[in-house]
Amino acid sequence: MSLSQREKDRRHNGLRKKMKEIGVETILVFGNTGDFGLRYGNLRYLTNSKVIFGNSALLFSMDQEPIMFMFSGLQAGWAKRLSWIMDARPSSNLISDIVNVLKSSRPSVQKLGVAGLPTIPLSWHQKLCQEFPSLDLMEIGHVIESMRSIKGQEEVELVEKAALLADKGFENVMMRLKPGMTEFEALALLEQPMREGGGDDFFNLIFSGPFEPGVQLTPFAITGRKEPSRTIQVGDSVLFEITPRYGGYWAQLVRTISIGKQNSLLADYYRVGRAAIEAAIKHFRPGVKLGDALTEAKNVIESEGYKLRLPMGHICGLDCVESRISVESEDILQPGMVIIFHPPVVGPEETDIFVGETYVITTDGYKCLSQSPKELMVIS
Q: Could you give all domains of the chain from N- to C-terminal order, each with its CATH number?
A: 5-148 (3.40.350.10), 153-379 (3.90.230.10)
Predicted local distance difference test score (pLDDT) of residue 168: 98
Which of 30, 240, 247 minimizes the C-alpha distance to 155? 247
Mean pLDDT within 342-356: 89
Predicted local distance difference test score (pLDDT) of residue 89: 95
Judge contact between 313 and 325, C-beta under 8 A: yes
Residues in CB range of 326: below 8 A, 6 or more apart = 291, 294, 310, 311, 312
| Better-scored residue on pLDDT, 12 or 63 | 12
pLDDT-derived band at 16 (thresholds 50, 70, 90) equals very high
The whole-angstrom separation of Cα 272 and Cα 345 is: 7
Q: pLDDT tens digits for 310-334?
A: 889 999 999 999 999 999 999 999 9
Residue 132 CA: distances (Å) to CA of 67, 111, 120: 20, 10, 17
pLDDT-derived band at 35 (thresholds 50, 70, 90) equals low
Q: pLDDT tens digits for 213-232?
A: 766 655 544 433 445 578 99
Q: pLDDT tens digits for 153-164?
A: 999 999 999 999
Q: In the predicted model, is pLDDT for residue 281 greater than 90? A: yes
Percent of the chain with pLDDT strictly greater than 90: 78
Residue 207 CA: distances (Å) to CA of 171, 192, 336, 379: 18, 19, 32, 16
Predicted local distance difference test score (pLDDT) of residue 72: 87
Q: pLDDT tens digits for 233-265?
A: 999 999 999 999 999 999 999 999 999 999 999
Mean pLDDT within 155-174: 98
The whole-angstrom separation of Cα 204 and Cα 252 is: 9
Output the pTM of the full model: 0.92
Which of 281, 280, 40, 4 minimizes the C-alpha distance to 144? 40
Q: In the predicted model, is pLDDT for residue 306 greater than 70? A: yes
Q: pLDDT tens digits for 179-190?
A: 999 999 999 999
pLDDT-derived band at 53 (thresholds 50, 70, 90) equals confident
Predicted local distance difference test score (pLDDT) of residue 37: 55
Q: Which of the residue ranges 32-36, 276-280, 373-377 would you say has the lowest mean pLDDT?
A: 32-36
The whole-angstrom separation of Cα 40 and Cα 249 is: 11
Predicted local distance difference test score (pLDDT) of residue 234: 95
The whole-angstrom separation of Cα 355 and Cα 115 is: 34
Judge contact between 342 and 217, C-beta under 8 A: no
Q: Is the peptide bond before 335 cis (omega within 30 degrees of 0)?
A: no
Which one-letter DSSP state was computed for residue 180?
Answer: T
Predicted local distance difference test score (pLDDT) of residue 2: 73
Which of 253, 231, 234 minimizes the C-alpha distance to 186? 231
What strands, in cross-sheet order, belong to the sheet with 377-379?
A: 205-209, 237-242, 253-259, 377-379
Q: In the predicted model, is pLDDT for residue 139 greater than 60? A: yes
Q: Which of the residue ranges 77-91, 196-210, 214-228, 315-329 would you say has the lowest mean pLDDT?
A: 214-228
Predicted local distance difference test score (pLDDT) of residue 230: 85
The whole-angstrom separation of Cα 13 and Cα 207 is: 45
Q: In the predicted model, is pLDDT for residue 339 greater than 50? A: yes
Mean pLDDT within 1-12: 90
pLDDT-derived band at 75 (thresholds 50, 70, 90) equals confident
The mean predicted confidence, pLDDT, of the chain is: 91
Predicted local distance difference test score (pLDDT) of residue 351: 82
Mean pLDDT within 64-87: 91
